[in-house]
Amino acid sequence: MRFDGGSRLLACGRALALTLAVLAAPGCLVVSLHPSYDADSLRWDPALLGVWQNAEDRASLQIERADWKSYRIKYVYPIETGELTGYLTAVGDDLFLDVMPARGDDRGSFLVPVHALLRVRLTDDRLDLTPLSYDWFFDHARYGRKIPGLDVTLDQKENALIVSPTSALRNWVRGQVATGPMFGAPAAFVRKQAEEIR
């Protein structure tokens, strides 16, 4: 999983694009067994709806309203396309999008839906999504460094798997500095205008 010199695959550095491909991509993800939201923290923002483009990664998102304060997210990335379900949740003063496999899809008995957490910054027609840092979580899990308040392990694909319950995950996120190393690089998406979509 490492190049010479100790740096991780560049695809891990582009963690957001891989997070959008949360269940199809092998390795390089930070996911949780439990959601980061609870009933009291769910939010709904119609400003998230629309088509968003990230020219640098040649990725796009189509965010639509779905059931029970959720969003249907259709993503297109050069190596794949897919659908996710997202829930907007408030943690302290920040908003996060908890994304998981599309609800309603039967993937069989032995597949467990996992959640990825993305910090949301929405300003006019710009959407910044910041994932948890794979490198930071990988280093802690791989070398047995405890993360106070959070239980993390690596799965067989070396994804970082958070196994803490929702309340512990929320408490941990609340205590982190937005610019801390536990967060990866943000990916900037720009809203496509109606005339651009046609």
Q: What are the residue boundaries of the structural domains of the chain, listed by start?
A: 10-193
pLDDT band at 195 (very low <50, low <70, confident <90, very high): low
Of these ranges, 15-19, 125-129, 192-196, the one predicted with the greatest mean pLDDT is: 125-129
Residue 4 confidence (pLDDT) above 70: no
Long-range contacts of the stretch 149-158 (C-beta < 8 A, 24+) = 149/175, 157/26, 157/27, 158/1, 158/27, 158/28
Place of tokens 């710009």: 126
pTM, whole model, 2 decimals? Answer: 0.83
AA identity, residue 3: F
pLDDT tens per residue across span 112-142 = 889 999 999 999 999 999 999 999 999 999 9
Residue 114 burial by CB count (10 A; 0-12/13-18/19+): exposed, middle or buried?
buried
Give 17's pLDDT tier (boundaries 50, 70, 90): very low
